[in-house]
Amino acid sequence: MRGLPFISLIAGSCLLLSFSGCARERLVEKAARDGLLLIGNGPEPQALDPHVTTGLPELAIQMALYEGLVSPHPESLEPLPAVAESWNQADDGMTVTFTLRKNAKWSDGKPVRAGDFVAAWERALNPTQGTPYAQMLYVIGGAEAYNRSETTDFSEVGVEAVSETQLEVRLSRPVPYFLSLLMHPVWYPIPSHLDTDDDASNRVGAWASAEGFVGNGPFILKEWLPAQYVEVERNPLYWDSTTVSLNGIRYYSIDEPGAEERAFQSGQLHVTDALPPARVPAYQREQSQVLRIDPILGTYYILPNVREGVLSDSRVRKALSLSINRKAISEKLLGAGQLPAYGFVPPNMPGYEATFTDEYDPARARQILAEAGYPGGEGFPALEYLLNSSESHRKIAEALQAMWQKQLGIEVQLVNQEWRTYLQRRASADFELARASWMGDYAEPSTFLDLWTADSGNNWAGWVNAEYDARMESAHESTDPASRMQLYADAEQVLLREQAIIPLYHYVTVYLKDPSLKGWSSNILDWHPVKYLSLEKAAQ
C-alpha cells in the first residue's frame, strides 16, 4: 500500500492526481488491487478520542479504530456481539451482565478487560472531561449524579468489573434500546493499562493521538497527515480479523463538496457523500449506476442562540420560522428527495408519529414580529448567520437571507468559517444564528430530543424549558412503548411551540459509489461497518 498518491487541494478547490504510473489506470483501480479503500470524509477530523468529538468525520474513523461491547449489523443495525460475546439481562430489565471475549485485544497486544469499560465510562462521566455525549450514559444508575458532581465516588455508579471478563451494568430504569445505545463511540473502552490521566489543558487521550495510538477495532491508525488524510490499516490482533477484507482505508479531508465530487469523477475516491445538489440531476440522467440516494435519520436546522438579544424572544424565532419557504429550499435548491422539516424528529423514525404541518405563513410571521416590537423589521438589529464552508450551506444561507429580507424586512449577514472555527464558535456560543444538523445515533426519538434538555452537552442553543425537561424525563421513565412515544411527541410540541430551533429539511444521503466497492449497505443511521466492506479488483 505504500507509494499510493494522495489527493492535494490546489488553489482552493482544484484537485490534481499525483499519480505517475500508467495513465490509463485510475487511482481507485490501483487502490483496489492493494485492498485500500479511498473515502471522501468531509472536513478535517478534530480528534480521534470518542469522549471529545461529535462530528460525522470523526465518527466514521472511530468506528474503524475502536469497538464496543456490541456492534451494528450492516443492514438491520441489530446489535451484534463484539467485545462482549454474550450478555444476560435480569427479568426486571435493570441489570445486564456482559461476558467479554478472552481473545479481544488492544493493538499493543494487551487483553481488553472489563475494567477498560469501567475506566472509559468513568472518564466520560467525569465533569472535568466535558464529554458532549455524557448524557447518553445517564441510563446507568448513579451516572447523572456523578456527572453533575452530586457525588464524587464513582463506586456509586452502576457499573462493575466483576472479573476481567465479566462486566455488570445496573441501569437507572429499564431501557428497551440499551444495546443500541452501546454501539455509539462514547461507550467504547479505553486502554486502562496505559497512563490515561489526561492533561487538564488537553482533553484528548494520549492513546488516541497520532503518535501513541492504541485501539481495539478492526483497523489501527497508520498515518494522519493534517488537512490531507487519515489512513488506517488492518489490525492483525483484532478478534474477528478473518472477517476483515480490506487492507486499509484512507479517509480524505476535503472541505468543499464540489472538490470531493471532482475527486470521485477523476477516479481518486471509491465513495463520497459530498455531491452538490445541483449535480444530482446530471448523475440521475447520465451516471445512475454510481448514484445512490437513501433516506436516513437526519435533520438540517437553524440554531438560534437564545441566551440573550432579540433571539431570546420566542416570537422572533417563530417569525423567522414562519417566513421560510421550506418546500422551495428542498425542491429547488436541493432536489434529491429531501423532505421539508416542520418537526425535528425525522418522519422515518421507527414507531414514532408526530404530525407537523407546513407553516409557511409570511403574513402571520410579520404580525408576530410586529407584536414583538418590530413592525416591518423596524428597529430590528442585523443578525449574523454562522455557517461552515460549503457550496450547499452557502446557497441555503443566501436563500434564508433573501426570504427574511423580503418577508420581514430584516438584515442577516452571512459569516462563512472553516470547519474547526465554526465548531469552536458554536461550542462557545459565539454566534446569533448558525446552520446545524443532527444525525441519529440510534433508532429512537431520544437521540434527537435529548439534545434540548437543560443538561445536554449538545444544547448549543442554550434553551432551557422545565416543561420540556419534565416530559422528556417522563418519557425516559415510561416502560410502555406507546406511552413513551406519545410523551416524546408531547415534548417535541413544546420544542416547536417555543421555536427553540428552526428545522429546515430532513436528510437523504446522496452517495457516489464506485462499482468496485462491495458491502456498502443502506440503513437509516448511514452507518457502514468497515469490517464488512471489500473491493473488487478490476479485470486485467
* Adjacency order of strands within the sheet including 95-100: 84-89, 95-100, 166-170, 159-163
In a domain? residue 494: yes
Find the CATH number of the domain harbouring 342: 3.10.105.10
In a domain? residue 326: yes
pLDDT of residue 20: 39
Q: Is the same domain home to 400 and 475?
A: yes
Q: Is the same domain home to 48 and 158?
A: no
In a domain? residue 202: no
293: its cell numbers? 440516494
* Structural domain span for residue 257: 1-66+217-270+514-540
Residue 495's nearest CA partner among 457, 532, 454, 534 is 454
Find the CATH number of the domain harbouring 240: 3.40.190.10
Q: Are 279 and 406 in contact (CB under 8 A)?
A: no
Q: Is the same domain home to 527 and 462?
A: no
Q: Is the same domain home to 102 and 226?
A: no
* Number of domains within the chain: 3
Residue-wise pLDDT for 142-169, tens only, equals: 999 999 999 999 999 999 999 999 999 9
In a domain? residue 281: no
- For 2, 29, 32, 245, 530, the CA distances from 539, given in Å and listed in that order, are 22, 10, 11, 18, 24
Q: Is the same domain home to 158 and 231?
A: no
Q: Is the same domain home to 232 and 321?
A: no
Q: Is the same domain home to 150 and 75?
A: yes
pLDDT of residue 197: 54
Q: Is the same domain home to 333 and 472?
A: yes
Residue 302 to residue 461: CA distance in whole angstroms: 10
Q: Is the same domain home to 128 and 115?
A: yes
384: its cell numbers? 449574523
Q: Are 276 and 402 in contact (CB under 8 A)?
A: no
pLDDT of residue 539: 64
What are the beta bridge partners of residue 36?
248
Q: Is the same domain home to 439 and 395?
A: yes
pLDDT of residue 455: 87
pLDDT of residue 5: 38
Q: Is the same domain home to 339 and 426?
A: yes
pLDDT of residue 23: 53
| Cβ contacts of 398 within 8 Å, gap of 6 or more | 414
As to burial, measured by CB atoms within 10 angstroms (0-12 exposed, 13-18 middle, 19+ buried), residue 481 is exposed
In a domain? residue 174: yes
Find the CATH number of the domain harbouring 99: 3.90.76.10
Residue 65 to residue 199: CA distance in whole angstroms: 23
pLDDT of residue 398: 98
pLDDT of residue 312: 98
Helices (H), 410-452: 419-427, 446-449
In a domain? residue 138: yes
Helices (H), 223-382: 257-265, 280-286, 314-322, 326-328, 362-371
In a domain? residue 288: no
Q: Is the same domain home to 361 and 447?
A: yes
Residue ranges, the chain, pLDDT below 70: 1-23, 195-203, 539-540
